A and B are shown apart, each in its own frame.
Chain A
Amino acid sequence: MHVSVRIQEDDIWVADEYRALRDRMPGTIGAIATFIGLVRDQQADDEVLSLTIEHYPGMTEQSIHTIVESAGQRWPLDDVVIVHRVGELAAHEQIVFVQVAAGHRAAAFAACEFLMDYLKTDAVFWKREATPHQTRWLESSAQDESRARAWKTPDPTEQN
């Protein structure tokens, strides 16, 4: 499995990531699933001006690699790219990019969702949200925790 994990302040160029994958992908790949997460402009009836994302260099990358390894043990994946931005991002900007290539779509779709669910709960990032009224540090929501927990029960798309 080819794995690329990158943390960057720069924007994410989806076409470039897809092109790079197509250039290196073996003939066995039959499905590519991608996900892009954006900064929402509303949160609980308040306008969101920006999101500032902080990480712990070294530990953050390792935490993401651990999540990718878990996905690789559950599904037969050929290629995983995760790009996560840090710094101050305005509403509507791209935060995160996940790209999964596999032999078949079931694995690609499921692994893409699994990776996002665990990025929410297990990746070492902190987010500070700024609204016109306040700034506050965010925590993963009860819904995020429950989505990640749900993967602990067996899934029919898994390889085993």
Chain B
Amino acid sequence: MDIDVLFFASLRDVVGAASISVQLPVPAGQRELLAVLGERFSDTVMQALQAENVRISVNKTLATQPLSYSDGDEIAFLPPITGG
């Protein structure tokens, strides 16, 4: 299945792209996604994506583990937020 993966703010800077499309096996969760990303990105990038303060959203909703992805999902890696 195909999913879109988005990177915001500091994570976009580290990754060097705002979004990528990836193919995942079925079924797939966060472990499968990280495995696919790990083939594409350096250890530095992977460490940044897995930092403790990074949250994941699925289709624009904050996700809680364990994650299970579906074809066409939009996954985003969100570094710490602040508005106002």
Contacts and interface: CB of A to CB of B under 8 A. Distances in A.
Interface string B58-84: 001100000000000000101111111
B13 to A, nearest CB: 8
Interface string A98-132: 00000000000000000010011111111110000
Contact of B83 (A58, A59, A124, A137): A124
Contacts of A20: none
Chain B interface size range: 10 to 19
Interface in B1-54: 6, 8-10
B10 A119 contact: no
Contact of B10 (A116, A137, A144): A137
B76 A96 contact: no
A126 B84 contact: no
Contacts of B60: 56, 58-59, 62
A52 to B, nearest CB: 10
Interface string A59-101: 1001010000000000000000000100000000001100000
Given A58-B60, A62-B60, A137-B9, A123 B78 contact: no
A96 B84 contact: yes
Contact of A137 (B57, B76, B79): B79
Nearest to B12: A54
Nearest to A126: B9
A134 B29 CA distance: 38
Interface of B: 6, 8-10, 57, 60-61, 76, 78-84
26 contacts: A37-B84, A56-B76, A56-B78, A59-B57, A59-B61, A59-B76, A62-B61, A84-B83, A96-B83, A96-B84, A119-B84, A120-B83, A120-B84, A121-B81, A123-B84, A126-B8, A126-B10, A126-B81, A127-B82, A128-B9, A137-B9, A137-B10, A137-B79, A138-B82, A140-B80, A140-B82
